[in-house]
Chains A and B, each alone.
Chain A
Amino acid sequence: MSETAAFEPRVVGFLCTWCSYAGADKAGAAQLPSPDNFLPIRVMCSGRVEPEFIIRAYTEGADGVLVLACHPGDCHYKEGNSRALQRNRLLRKLLDSFGIEPERCRLDYVSAGEPEKFTRVVSETVEAVRRLGPLRLSREGGLNDGSNDA
């Protein structure tokens, strides 16, 4: 496949069931078109998302990951979203140091009443990842320098 001509990124989403997943469902009910490149996984809380899940998404072929949480202060579990934010900040730094653009690891907030925001954030993320191009990891799981492209 010619990556430059028709690169279709794959973005994995981790959506907390209380706010963001509900917001995504509302976007569905409102029939707001959304890129099919986004593959949602439902979790109880954004705080459940282990950094390992995100790394594994990359090694399994995702080009980007989007964690969607309740708005600050609205977490169903009081503070899971702030844990998710802390982890996201740390992970983005770490990814950056390995040459993986932090834009491939986004965290945002979508409430149950924000279907438009859901659609916008998903579209933005997919487009941002599309601009970055495919994420190329070496077979060992590190960043590919281009010399051993699969």
Chain B
Amino acid sequence: MMIGVFLCTCGTAIAERIDVERLAAAVGRLPDVAWCRTVGFLCSEAEKERMEGVLRDEAPDRVVVAACSPREHEATFMGVMEKAGLNPYLLQMVNIREQVAWITPEISRATRKAESLLAGAVARVRRHAPLETKRVEAVPDVLVVGGGPAGIKAAIELAEAGRRVVLVERSAVIGGLPVRFEEVAPGMECGPCMLEPLLGELLHGRLAERIEILTMAEVTGAVGYCGNFTVTIGVRGRGVDRACIGCGECAAACPATAANPYDYGLGTRKAIDFPFPGALPNLPYLDAATCRRAAGEECRACKDACHLGEETVRFDEPVTTVERSVGAVVIATGGEPIDAVRFPALRYGEIPGVYTSVEFERLLSSSGPTGGKLATAGGREPESVAIVHCVGSRDPAHRDYCSGVCCAYALKFGHIVASRFPGASMHHVYRELNLPGKGGAALLRRGGEKSFFHRYRMPDGISLSPGAGGRITVTSDTGQDGITADIVVLCPAIVPAEGTAGLAKIFDTPLDHLGFFEELHGTTDTARGKVKGIYLAGSCREPGDIRQAMLGGSAAAAAIHADIPEGKELEISPVCAVTDRERCAGCGICVSLCPYRAAALVPDGKAEVNQLLCHGCGSCAAGCPGGAISVGYFTREAILAELEGILR
């Protein structure tokens, strides 16, 4: 074996602190060292060129460069090796500048230490093997988790640019919360009218063939990294074939009824039914728990009613698991209102006529449980509606942040109530009003003359009690006269959607201290998550309105185009773990040690490391009791040889 050594003096930086001549002579005596060249500035363009020439001419089997830190110039000299036609991994650097010359006051001691380290490098480099950097193309497809405004916007923008998208939605409906709202602030547009064209584009438009929509589905697992994720998705059986035309005959025939979760239990639905009128995709779903068959009955009314044939309805459809390969993931799982029962003084669930904002949205909606007809608990037209703002928001005992959307929708409620019941009075019970943006202030004028504002002081400054004639008394800590209302609407703080923590765990991406997904940077990079390849949109990262969600969806799509353009190649570093199948006993310790889920036991019981997933840390190799795992460039043999060399 022929080892060539370059000894860089770094001008005087090394030459003044180490006896370079003595060092070169010592290196020359090391086994297999064919030559040792002393160079002034090896990293200079001229010397790199000369080095390349020397490597071509001499064609050494291994190369050692004693110079500065490998963190500074290992890549530089590996590049020269490659240019000279040598495998870059046949190089070993010795840091005789930062870790010898610059920290060792005495020349003789510095020289002796440099000799030891060089002896280690020469011994080690003999054990190096040529390694190959593999390249694979990044997967351009994208997974979007969440079919609300942020998710659908991201999906549309990505599909528009030719990407294939897998859109996973937990509920039976796409469009998120606003498709269940009658009107949306600040422009008072009809929510479904605004969103349905977008949803139609996803479902049936020219983009549909590039967007796979999985409803009633949840991500159950993920491995991989930016450019190459493998995601498993559990899809609950809908019980209805996609061929269904949505005529609704099955629902009409179904004898079983239960509370409808899409109306927060304010209305009912049949065991096989649509989530609500106009819900997309236009397919009913079968709730097996409600179905008479769950009670052992042999009911098949739905099957018999179906015009397309009984096969269109499927009983006992199991959860299916599908696997998809994607290069990036957009998390758009949104937020939800905090549970109002946490505020005992508001007596939500006890006093009839006290609703949360999302329930009130459904009561106002023509697709809601009352068809949009608003009435008091006693069945009268409401004469007075009170809205309690900031329930749990800006409240140190619950959520100290402003949820940002409540004031706007509260004023929207005022507008809708005023337009439907011109005689009714509207009472906003608030602490602060937050109406930023172009349309914000205009909302204040929407309520009309019978809109009143009552300020309260402390987060827990409001209590509700039943009043005379089925009305509700709102008492505030300002000591003002009690407000009497037929209906009280609570504006609960927006918190991360249920399941957020589980999803964060699956994608191994952190949440912030409030439980929302943490952005790469809270100000300058909010579309990217902390982990490469994970993108964030909408209220999963911070409570926001529909505009912000849509913008977030666009931003996530744009960030993906920037980070993972189609055709982008991923380099697979050879500094990764490889298992020796002969020596592997299949104990699985490596599997538990790997922080990247790269090590796995294959069906024959042996461990294998997925090179795409491996980051090369070597934790598995260090823990393998059989010594069956090796790490490229940092093999056991190489490290032990270096150890022996420096201690020789």
Given A43-B639, A47-B618, A49-B622, residue A62 in contact with residue B103 (CB < 8 A)? no
Contacting A at CB under 8 A, from B35-79, are 69-72
Chain A, Cβ-Cβ closest to B72: A25
B103 & A33 in contact (Cβ 8 Å cutoff): yes
Q: Which residues of A contact B618 (CB under 8 A)?
A: 43-45, 47-48, 80
Q: How far is the CA of A40 from the CA of B71 in the complex (A)?
A: 14
Check: B145 CB closer than 8 A to any chain A CB: no
- Confirm or deny: A79 has a beta carbon within 8 angstroms of a beta carbon on chain B: yes
**A20 → B minimal CB distance (Å):** 11
| Contact indicator B104/A79 (Cβ below 8 Å) | no
**A16 — nearest CB in chain B belongs to which residue?**
B617
CA distance A33 to B99 in the complex (A): 10
Question: Is B113 located at the chain interface by the 8 A CB criterion?
Answer: yes
Query: Is there an interface contact between A48 and B622, defined as CB atoms closer than 8 Å?
Result: yes
Interfacial residues of chain A within 23-56, with CB under 8 A of chain B in the complex:
24-25, 27-29, 31-34, 36, 39-45, 47-53, 56
Interface locus among B207-215, B427-435, B640-648: B640-648
The secondary-structure label for the interface of chain A is mixed
- Asked whether B639 lies within 8 Å of A25 as measured between CB atoms, the reply is no
- Is there contact, CB below 8 Å, between B617 and A53? no
Task: Return B381 CB to nearest CB of chain A, in Å.
Answer: 60
Roughly how many angstroms separate A86 CA and B644 CA in the complex, as a whole number?
25
A40 to B617, CA, bound (A): 18
Q: Is the C-beta of A57 less than 8 angstroms from some C-beta in chain B?
A: yes
Chain B residues with CB below 8 A from A57, complex form: 643, 647
Nearest Cβ on chain A to B414's Cβ, whole angstroms: 48
Q: Which residues of B contact A42 (CB under 8 A)?
A: 70, 95
Whether A47 contacts B622 by the Cβ 8 Å rule is: yes
Cβ A45 vs Cβ B619 within 8 A: yes
* A33 adjacent to B97 (CB under 8 Å): no
The reply to whether B95 and A25 contact each other, CB–CB distance below 8 Å, is yes
- Judging by beta carbons under 8 Å apart, are A56 and B98 in contact? no
Closest chain-A Cβ to B576's Cβ sits at a distance in Å of: 10
Q: Does chain B have a CB within 8 A of A12? A: yes
Within the assembled complex, what's the spacing in Å between the Cα atoms of A77 and B577? 14
CA distance A25 to B623 in the complex (A): 28
B67-94 CB contact bits vs A (8 Å, 1 = yes)? Answer: 0011110000000000000000000000
Please judge, given known A-B contacts A25-B69, A43-B639, A44-B634, whether A34 and B621 are in contact too, CB under 8 Å.
no
Q: Do A48 and B103 contact each other (CB < 8 Å), given the known contacts A24-B98, A25-B69?
A: no
Most chain A C-beta atoms within 10 Å of own C-beta, residue among B98, B103, B615, B644: B103
The yes or no answer to B325 lying at the interface (CB within 8 A) is no
Report yes or no: B621 in contact with A50, Cβ–Cβ below 8 A. Answer: yes
- Which partner residue on chain B sits nearest A65 by CB separation? B643
A102 proximal to B (CB < 8 A)? no
Please state if A50 and B117 are interface contacts (CB–CB under 8 Å).
Answer: no
- What is the total number of residues of chain A having a CB less than 8 Å from a CB of chain B? 42
In whole angstroms, what is the CA distance A44 to B619 when docked?
A: 10
Asked whether A139 is an interface residue with its Cβ less than 8 Å from the other chain, the reply is no
Given contacts A29-B102, A36-B109, A41-B646, contact A87 B622 (CB under 8 A): yes
- Which residue of the partner chain, among A10, A17, A33, A47, contacts B71 with CB atoms under 8 Å? A17
> Quick one: closest B residue to A13, CB to CB?
B99
- In the complex, what residue of chain A is closest to B103 when comparing beta carbons? A34
Residue of A48, A49, A83 contacting most chain B CB atoms (<10 Å): A48
Taking a contact as CB atoms under 8 Å apart, the answer to whether A39 and B646 are in contact is yes
- Interfacial chain B residues near A56, Cβ < 8 Å: 640, 643-644
Interfacial chain B residues near A76, Cβ < 8 Å: 617
Interchain nearest-CB distance for A47 vs B (Å): 4
Nearest chain B CB to A4 CB, angstrom units: 21
Tell whether, in the assembled complex, residue A25 and residue B647 are in contact, meaning their CB atoms are under 8 Å apart: no
Q: Could you say which residues of chain A place their CB within 8 Å of the CB of B120?
A: 39, 41
A27 touches B634 (CB 8 A): no
Q: Does B351 contact A (CB under 8 A)?
A: no
B116 interfacial contact with A, CB 8 Å: yes
- For residue A22, CB closer than 8 A to chain B, the reply is yes
- Are A77's CB and B619's CB within 8 A? yes
Residues of B within 8 A of A12 (CB): 643, 646-647
Assess whether A41 is in contact with B642, with CB atoms less than 8 Å apart. yes
The digit string for B328-359, where 1 denotes a CB below 8 A from any CB of A, is 00000000000000000000000000000000
Q: Which residues of A contact B646 (CB under 8 A)?
A: 12, 39, 41
Q: Determine how close the nearest CB of chain A comes to the CB of B70; give it in whole angstroms.
A: 7
The one of B104, B116, B619, B647 in contact with A34, judged by C-beta atoms closer than 8 angstroms, is B104
B617 and A47 form a contact (CB under 8 A): yes
Q: Nearest Cβ in chain B — how far from A77, in angstroms?
A: 4
The residue of chain A having its C-beta at the shortest distance from the C-beta of B619 within the complex is A47
Would you give the shortest CB distance from B624 to chain A, in whole angstroms?
A: 9
**Binary interface profile of B, 90-124, with partner A (CB < 8 Å = 1, else 0)?**
00000101111111111001101100110010000
Give Cα A51 to B640, complex, Å. Answer: 12
A31 to B116 CA separation, bound complex (whole angstroms): 20
Please measure, in the bound complex, the distance between the C-alpha atom of A21 and the C-alpha atom of B68, giving whole angstroms: 13
Expressed in whole angstroms, the Cα–Cα distance for A116 and B117 within the complex equals 23
A25 with B99, Cβ < 8 A, contacts A12-B643, A41-B639, A43-B639 known: yes
Q: Does B575 contact A (CB under 8 A)?
A: yes
Can you list 14 A-B pairs with a CB-CB distance of less than 8 A? A21-B71, A24-B99, A28-B69, A28-B103, A29-B102, A33-B105, A40-B99, A44-B575, A45-B617, A47-B593, A47-B617, A60-B643, A60-B647, A60-B648
Given A36-B112, A44-B618, 4 additional A-B pairs, CB 8 A = A41-B643, A44-B631, A80-B619, A87-B622
By a beta-carbon cutoff of 8 Å, the part of chain B in contact with chain A is 69-72, 95, 97-106, 109-110, 112-113, 116-117, 120, 575, 593, 595-596, 615-619, 621-623, 631, 634, 636, 639-640, 642-644, 646-648
Interface residues of A (CB under 8 A from B): 10, 12, 17, 21-22, 24-25, 27-29, 31-34, 36, 39-45, 47-53, 56-57, 60-62, 76-80, 83, 87, 119
- A-B pairs with lowest CB-CB distance, top 9: A28-B98, A48-B618, A77-B617, A47-B619, A45-B617, A28-B102, A78-B595, A34-B103, A60-B647
